[in-house]
Amino acid sequence: MQGNGGKILIVAILAAAGFGAYKYFTKNVGSKTDDELFIIISNGGMTATAAQAELVMRAGSGKTPATAFRSRLKDDNKDVRVAACKGIRACKDKASAPALIETLADDAFEVRTAACEAFENVRVKEAVAPLIQLLDDPKEGVRVAASSALRSITKQSYSNKESDKWKNWWTDNGKNFVVQE
């Protein structure tokens, strides 16, 4: 029993330390403007993660409009582009689909991955063909994210290792395919 008490104490100490670190890195992040948060993200560091989380929370609650994220998809900083994709994902903004489709060709694999992940929530037919093309991406993370988005949009169950099956399915069904809500 004494061993369990020690474990509980250790867990409590770790939780308190984790909460303290969270408060330290999120200090004043909630009071920043959207533009200031994007600047924090572009500067990097541990506070950038808190800024990104704050922007995603604002996107999901509607406090930051999708247009703010859409305008950042071409930012020079890849971390800002990733944050923009995550914000659009949280907004579930279908009007951002054309800009997200362009982002699927980004030079940075992290951005391509985030754009694919956004299409899990921004479910549009126009994304299917470009996502199928990404099943041949050199980065496995991009391929996995593309297949996950494809499964979300199409309700098909092929994996990232079955690009031929995806291509055949799209050839057979693409013309008449309708995204089911």
User: Domain with 119 in it: what CATH number?
Assistant: 1.25.10.10
User: Tell me: the pLDDT tens digits for 60-71?
Assistant: 999 999 999 999
Strands (E) in 19-158, as ranges, are none
Half-sphere exposure of residue 68, counting CA atoms within 13 Å on the CB side? Answer: 19
Domain count for the chain, please give it.
1
Q: Which long-range contacts (CB under 8 A, 24 or more apart) does 140-147 make?
A: 141/109, 141/113, 142/109, 142/112, 142/113, 142/116, 145/112, 145/113, 145/116, 145/117, 146/116
Indicate whether 96 belongs to any domain: yes
Indicate whether 12 belongs to any domain: no
pTM of the model: 0.83
Indicate whether 13 belongs to any domain: no
User: Tell me: the pLDDT tens digits for 50-101?
Assistant: 889 889 999 999 999 999 999 999 999 999 999 999 999 999 999 999 999 9
Indicate whether 137 belongs to any domain: yes
Indicate whether 15 belongs to any domain: no
Indicate whether 6 belongs to any domain: no
**Whole domain around residue 155: which residue ranges?**
30-173
